[in-house]
Structure 1
Amino acid sequence: MDWLGLHFITELPHSGQVIVHCSHNPVLVLLAYLVACAASFATLDMAERVSHVERPASQRLWRWVGACCLAGGIWAMHFIAMLAFEAPLEIHYNLPQTLLSLLIALIAAWLAMNTLSRAQLPLWRYAVASLWIGLGIGAMHYVGMTAMRSSATLYHDPRLMGLSLLLAIACSLAALLLSRHLRDGSGMFHQLLKYASSLVLGGAIVLMHFTGIWAVTLVLPADSLPLAPAPNGNLQLGLTVSVIMLLIIGSGISAALADKKLQHKEHDLRRVNALLSQLDQARVSLQQVAHYDALTNLINRRGFNQLFAEKLMEKTTFGGMLAVMFLDIDHFKRINDSLGHDAGDELLKVIAGHIKGSTRSHEDVVARLGGDEFCILINLYDREEARHLAQRIMQKMKEPIELGGRRMVMTTSIGISLFPDDGRTCEELLKNADLALYQSKDAGRNNLHFFSSNLKTRATLELQLEEELRNALRDDQGLQLYYQPIYDLRSARVTKLEALVRWQHPQHGLLAPDRFINIAEANGMIAELDNWVLRKACEDLAHLSRNGRGELRIAVNCSALNLTREELAEEIEDALRQAQVAPQRLELEVTENALMGNIASTLALLQRIRGLGVSLSIDDFGTGYSSLAYLKRLPLNTLKIDRSFIQDTPKSTQDMEIVQAIIVMAHTLHLQVVTEGVETPEQQQFLERFGCDYLQGYLISRPVPLRELHRVLDELDRCHATGGFTARAAARDRDESGSLDLFPDSPEPHADASTAQLSR
């Protein structure tokens, strides 16, 4: 059977000569294998490139480049392998049929690349595609064989032809599956796998070609003789074709690599642009977070400081006035404690809206500095503008606020400093506005104050006193205890002393407690100060015992802040143990307001102290907000009537009735009564007549240091023996007129009169 001059079923003729001495040039065979491997690698690389490009036009371009590389490689491999064939014949090739074989190879290659450019296909689709591609490669091979021109006739073994076609189909299927597997990989292993696959595919293509050559039998006519092979240029032609084809394939691979790098750069550029866009958004968000308060959406401290510096520079350069206004919400902590922090946050939002609505939106800067503190920066022409704005804010705050099902009205305290009158730097103006704010709070809150120079002087003095008080406590220098006798009306003797702290300051002289107690409480030193007083009083008790005054007891005052510390009971026990003093000789005085602050925890602490054997006294009774229901639950021994109720007796009938009622109530609760501020014999007689237990005041004695206490006590004993306190009062009057000075080192009368009841 003949087709296109191919004899693949026809039997060999009985006459004629079969040429059996045929060979192949090993150099050209190696070149053919090299071209086949290069074509295989180009096919795998182009398939990967087609799957990675995004634009359809680029996909079509690389599909045709891959098809040309594959078709040219397979055809060049076939042509070079044909040139490698050496037989004792003169062989040449028909050009049209050779070009036809190239066209068939191009069609098969395009079909292969079109299949590879698709997304994942089912396996049967790859099988069908490999069948057509394999048949196309086989057709290319056998059409190329028909291009051979010689005196011999070509006969093909149909079994070997079928085997070569099967090899072509199998090779096509392997190429498709490998390409599908390798298109999405990356890295060194992926590249090595691609190289290995190219070598295998190249070998399979060469094997298919030489299987087809193996199927060929050359038969010369019976009357012709084989000729010795004449010298030809097959080697040079094969080298030329292989070099050209390798250059074409290499150019395609290089172009694909360059396009891949360019695409990566485009991806990197898009990613960089996306990152830059995200960074811009993040920068805006960070700027919002860094310069604005998340809760109220007002400017925060950082943003305020930046705007403040800019406005200050503008005013310094071009002139003008600037006001800094500090606002603090009065008693805001009560909202958080009673309704919770969520309700407090909602309240802050409403208040921020009130403040913002009271200002000029384009000219004034409103900031939340933290917590319930707000600050406003105002451009103004005179200080009254700042006052009017502050008054508008205070008026706006009076509007009821609905919160947690309740209607409430909040108030604010405001402090104002002015540029350039009160400072020229941000720090100075803010500090001065803060000082004015605290003046508004000290004046009763719901108020406004402008900064004045005396505030700065006072703040500087308090700062200096704070540092010096801290040093005095650390070095145990300057602090002293003064003792004021407490007279027992029943035994007609001094049986108790009240310990009162004084500070011998190197510049300011002897300071009464009202000069430094508030400083200690505000700066966390009150616990250390109270502990020093407690230990010093216990040591002095031991000293009095050694000097014949073992019957005396000492009352020590306790700060309200100290009643919140659970360690207080252990400190009292430790001070008594170190001084070796009986607990019954110590009395702890607390104010009624301190007791009512947190009655539950205070009651537990007082019961522990009472369990040690220490007596308890309620000081300044009648000046606070005591509840009788709580008073009867407290483990008290003594009640002290404040001097404000006794100073107008016996002239004031109302005060006398109040004092009489307190004494009766205290005795009903089984409490002993001490009256402070007794200064006249008439007051003594009134109190003695209505059953008061103890007297304390200038009629008895001023507070004196320990070194003078023995002399004072001895004198009191003599006064009682020689006429009581009437003679004592006369002696005191002579002392005040200058004829007699019983207490040369004691503080001034008016200072002690105002501070004798202070609890230190």
Structure 2
Amino acid sequence: MNNWLGLDFLVAPLDHTQIHLHGQHDGWLVALAYLVAVSACYVTLVFAERIGQTRTLARRRAWSLMGALSFGFGVWGMHFIAMLAFTVPTRVHYDLFITIASLLIVVLAGLMAMPALSQPDLTLGQRLKAGTVLSVGIVLMHYTGMAAVHTEAVVLYRPLPFLLSIGIAVGASFAALQLIQIFRRHYTGIYRWLRMATALVMGLAIAAMHFTGMWSMVLIAPAQTESTLQGASNSWQLGVGIAIIALLLGVGGLGAAWADRQLQRKENDLERVNSLVGQLDEARASLQQAAHYDPLTDLHNRRAFNQAFAEILERHAQQGRNLGVMFLDIDHFKRINDSLGHDAGDQLLVAMAKIIRDAVREGDLVARFGGDEFCILASLAGPEEARQLAQRILERLRNPVTIGNRTLVMTTSIGISLYPRDGGCCEELLKSADLALYLSKGNGRNTYSFFDETLREKISLQLELEAELREALVEERGLQLYYQPILDVASGQLDKAEALIRWDHPRLGMLAPNCFLGVAEANGFIEDLDAWVLRRACQDLAELTAAGLTELRLAVNCSALSLSNDALPGQIAWRLDDHRLSPRRLELEVTENALVKNVQPTAELLQRIRDLGVTVSIDDFGTGYSSLAYLKRLPIDTVKIDRSFVTGLAEGNADHQIVQAIIGMARPLKLKVTAEGVEHLEQLRLLCALGCDFIQGYHISRPVPLAQVPEVIARYASGVCPLQAQAEADADALALAKALG
């Protein structure tokens, strides 16, 4: 024998004076012990699952504690039942104090090891520590429990089975910790079945450790000892009792785990519901924000403005207070988008919105209606207070604004309507403010205007004209072309005429172009009107040719919008071919302002038209800002001096020098010069003296219908020009005419 750590080990063979007592195990109690071990392991794995599913640290620790108690009592219960199953041929009893001590040892070991499971992930050091504590506890519990066996025989231990039992305890402990870490993360599907299989294997490992330890135990008695197999008389009662307690604890633990799982599910469901409710609230708030606020400027949008407007108007009506409605539009905002891009435009709108918001008073409502259009609702004492507010907004908006690395100075136009003077409902007030804004733009922008009834009548008339003009254009009803002959000073013949559109309105009578062309331009069908004029002019020119006027040329006006149409040269060629007309008999008149808006594309388009053989004339020459700079770059044949310079020509003022300069400039460029608006003989004399090529005006002829064109031209068939006819009654004029040849 050899004593080690209080244990006696068998290191030499037995002599003839010693008897090795061989014991037996009750198979049913062994099976019951294994069942208790499996149930303890399974319950421990279930508790580990709860630890993985529980979010709070306190609850994780509680489940760790319950797992430690369940595991400790289950392993001890398995050990004690297995000890009760062991019978030997000698009297055996158990020391109660040592038996309870063995239980306390394993429970304490579990309490020390299991809290590590409350950590989401165990480090290697934590696993080593927990596994060591747990395996030491199991080994101490087992051999302390075996030390509780009191018998007449001597208890010895064989070293190798003893060490093997310790190895099994250590391996089972570390394997249990690893498996618990796995199953606490996976608790659905196949892992539930794996958990049961794992419990069976762990129970087997714990039972194997116990019976390996029992195998290492040797009972030695003197040779004269009676060989009577004896055991504890109450083994079955104690074993079954302990098993029932262990199993009840396991069932109770499983019930608690199930209840906690259901509670956890309800809590999770409640959290999901609360989360969904929160998300719905956020979505509702986002929708509310999107539905009532402009995403760019964070101002009220049109929808929110209309809702608030109705409430504010009703409140002011009840209180008898005045209310001002202001429409604001940023002047020439499109230029910013076209030149700097839409991102810069958005930044400018944000800056402008902030300036407007800071300029108004607390309680005033500011909204963005879209684009560069804003609207303000302000409680006012009267028109003077509205005027002061408008002036303050205009002044602040004129301050420089920095966008990127550029400093911009923008202006705005404001239209103002007042309640109850300009309307009694929201729609009327908004419409009145919009009409006043239209007036501000017409007055040069960068100003404010109040609504008045004459403006409503004017706009109403324009709306009526728009609808009626569209109808007249589609049905070709009421639209006519008049022709104003143009005198060729050199030949004294009327060999050219300008086509001028007229509208025979059913209610207003014959309307000049200035009454309705602006309506067509503002409403986007000026191109259709130009196309109609071109088609009708070519048709009329074909009729005049058939009437014998084979050399007559027609001048047709072209709007700026038509001039940007790349298909215009093709349309002109088609009309000429359709009526078998020579291109040289058509002249296209374009305004100076239309030419200089986009010089390069315009010059290319005009060159294509000239390549057809059609001549090009600049109308209203001298009224623009850059005509002299761009004149040499444009493919043109004629410049037409605007009538504003001809009107005061006879008075010898600056107009005389301007006309003289234009003619002098045209000569080196080999351009013809036409003067329009000639109404008096003195104007005719001076223009002839200055070297003007063509004369157009009432002094030559008023615009006449197509049927009268041959008659007017026939008056000049003798080759005597009006200047020569006048010279017969005026000797000075005759001398001047002869001098001019």
- Return the TM-score normalized by structure 1: 0.82
Distance 1:91 1:298 in 2: 94
Say whether 1:168 aligns with 2:166: no
Task: Report the CA distance shift for 1:101/1:514 in structure 2 as closer, same or farther (over 3 A).
Answer: same
The residue that corresponds to 1:202 in the other structure is 203
The residue that corresponds to 1:489 in the other structure is 489
Task: Report the CA distance shift for 1:50/1:405 in structure 2 as closer, same or farther (over 3 A).
Answer: closer
The residue that corresponds to 1:758 in the other structure is none
Instruction: Give CA-to-partner distance per residue, 1:543-575, whole Å, 9 cap, x none.
Output: 333343221211111112333333323332333
Over the matched positions of the two proteins, sequence identity in percent amounts to 51
Shift of residue 611 of structure 1?
A: 2.0
The residue that corresponds to 2:539 in the other structure is 539
Distance 2:368 2:98 in 1: 91
Task: Report the CA distance shift for 1:581/1:240 in structure 2 as closer, same or farther (over 3 A).
Answer: farther
CA-based RMSD: 4.3
The residue that corresponds to 1:321 in the other structure is 322
The residue that corresponds to 2:591 in the other structure is 591
The residue that corresponds to 1:705 in the other structure is 705
Judge conservation of contact 2:333–2:372 (CA < 8 Å) in 1.
yes
SS at match of 1:481: strand
The residue that corresponds to 2:44 in the other structure is 43
SS at match of 2:485: strand
Task: Report the CA distance shift for 1:586/1:167 in structure 2 as closer, same or farther (over 3 A).
Answer: same
Written as runs of structure 1 = structure 2, the 5 A alignment for 1:671-750 is 671-680=671-680, 683-688=683-688, 690-714=690-714, 717=717
Shift of residue 689 of structure 1?
A: 5.0
AA matched with 2:137: G
Distance 2:535 2:74 in 1: 106
AA matched with 2:499: A
Shift of residue 402 of structure 1?
A: 8.3
Task: Report the CA distance shift for 1:640/1:267 in structure 2 as closer, same or farther (over 3 A).
Answer: same
Shift of residue 377 of structure 1?
A: 1.5
Q: Please point out which of 7, 13, 16 is paired with 1:14.
A: 16
AA matched with 2:27: N
Say whether 1:214 aligns with 2:221: no
Q: Which moved more, 1:293-302 or 1:571-580?
A: 293-302
Instruction: Give CA-to-partner distance per residue, 1:391-420, whole Å, 9 cap, x none.
Output: 444455667778999998755432111122
Task: Report the CA distance shift for 1:573/1:247 in structure 2 as closer, same or farther (over 3 A).
Answer: farther
Task: Report the CA distance shift for 1:478/1:19 in structure 2 as closer, same or farther (over 3 A).
Answer: farther
Distance 1:133 1:330 in 2: 84
Judge conservation of contact 2:92–2:230 (CA < 8 Å) in 1.
no
Distance 1:629 1:56 in 2: 84
The residue that corresponds to 2:438 in the other structure is 438
Distance 1:497 1:709 in 2: 9
Shift of residue 518 of structure 1?
A: 1.0
The residue that corresponds to 1:642 in the other structure is 642
The residue that corresponds to 1:564 in the other structure is 564
Shift of residue 286 of structure 1?
A: 7.3
Task: Report the CA distance shift for 1:453/1:175 in structure 2 as closer, same or farther (over 3 A).
Answer: same
Distance 2:122 2:294 in 1: 57
AA matched with 1:577: D
The residue that corresponds to 1:554 in the other structure is 554
Shift of residue 72 of structure 1?
A: 0.7
The residue that corresponds to 1:243 in the other structure is 244
Task: Report the CA distance shift for 1:531/1:721 in structure 2 as closer, same or farther (over 3 A).
Answer: closer
Count, aligned residues: 727
Written as runs of structure 1 = structure 2, the 5 A alignment for 1:222-237 is 234-235=235-236, 237=238
Shift of residue 197 of structure 1?
A: 2.3
Shift of residue 652 of structure 1?
A: 5.6
SS at match of 2:173: helix
Judge conservation of contact 1:47–1:113 (CA < 8 Å) in 2.
no
Q: Which moved more, 1:460-469 or 1:168-177?
A: 460-469
SS at match of 1:589: strand
AA matched with 1:567: A
Written as runs of structure 1 = structure 2, the 5 A alignment for 1:596-675 is 596-625=596-625, 627-647=627-647, 650=650, 659=659, 662-675=662-675
AA matched with 1:467: A
Distance 1:310 1:443 in 2: 33
The residue that corresponds to 1:425 in the other structure is 425
The residue that corresponds to 2:577 in the other structure is 577
Distance 1:123 1:655 in 2: 103
Judge conservation of contact 1:33–1:206 (CA < 8 Å) in 2.
yes
SS at match of 1:623: coil
AA matched with 1:37: V
- Return the TM-score normalized by structure 2: 0.84
Which ranges of structure 1 fall in alignment gaps of 5 or more residues? 730-760
Which ranges of structure 2 fall in alignment gaps of 5 or more residues? 730-741
The residue that corresponds to 1:104 in the other structure is 105
Shift of residue 459 of structure 1?
A: 2.3
Judge conservation of contact 2:643–2:677 (CA < 8 Å) in 1.
yes
Shift of residue 205 of structure 1?
A: 0.8
Distance 1:169 1:622 in 2: 108
Q: Which moved more, 1:218-227 or 1:521-530?
A: 218-227
AA matched with 1:465: L
Task: Report the CA distance shift for 1:53/1:677 in structure 2 as closer, same or farther (over 3 A).
Answer: closer
Shift of residue 198 of structure 1?
A: 1.9
Shift of residue 641 of structure 1?
A: 2.7
Shift of residue 695 of structure 1?
A: 2.8
Judge conservation of contact 1:681–1:725 (CA < 8 Å) in 2.
no
Judge conservation of contact 2:134–2:173 (CA < 8 Å) in 1.
yes
Shift of residue 34 of structure 1?
A: 2.3
Task: Report the CA distance shift for 1:536/1:243 in structure 2 as closer, same or farther (over 3 A).
Answer: farther
Q: Please point out which of 23, 26, 48 is paired with 1:24.
A: 26
Judge conservation of contact 1:592–1:625 (CA < 8 Å) in 2.
no
Shift of residue 639 of structure 1?
A: 2.2
Q: Which moved more, 1:275-284 or 1:702-711?
A: 275-284
AA matched with 2:39: A
The residue that corresponds to 2:530 in the other structure is 530
The residue that corresponds to 1:457 in the other structure is 457
